[in-house]
Amino acid sequence: MNAHYFDKLGIEFGMKGNYESAIVCFNEALTIDPTYAPAYNNRGLSLYKLEYFKEAIEDYNEAIRLLPNVAIFYMNRGLAYSYLGDFCKGIQDFDTALSLGASEVCEAYQYRAEAYMQLGDYEKAIADFQVFATYERSVESSLREGQQLQSKDSYIDSESDKGG
């Protein structure tokens, strides 16, 4: 068995809310291949869900070090920073995620708006909420037109996201 196998198994546990078992699987993946960036992100997400925010940030840092152009890594780290009250670092990460041009992280507009609200920058918060609301309306329109939308989750599968 390879790192990808244990990463996928960990994702399955995480999607079911069994974060402790997910972490065991991600640990195994990283024992097999300590350069497997998706497992760092995915373990970070499980740690985040268990409210181990500092440890989650460490995993996101490692994922970013290994694959610096993956937007979701920055968005996840930004959420952890924001939860710890470091809204400035959170905003920096949301900016980076959005600058990477990844449409799958449009939620970063919402999260960045919430961080701006916490900092009292209501003008920027409103602007970001408006962008996010526009995206939400386009999703609703697509659903009414019968288009299939891919489910989004912060866990990533290296087969579907090559770090690109």
pLDDT in tens, 36-64: 999 999 999 999 999 999 999 999 999 99
Of the candidates 73, 78, 51, the residue with the CA atom closest to the CA atom of residue 62: 73
Q: How confident is the model at residue 93 (pLDDT cuts 50, 70, 90)?
A: very high
CATH 1.25.40.10 spans which residues of the chain? 1-68
Signed CA dihedral, 79, 57, 11, 160: sign only: positive
The candidate with the shortest Cα–Cα distance to 164, out of 38, 9, 15, 31, is 38
- For tokens 């244990």, what's the residue? 6
CATH topology of domain 1-68: 1.25.40
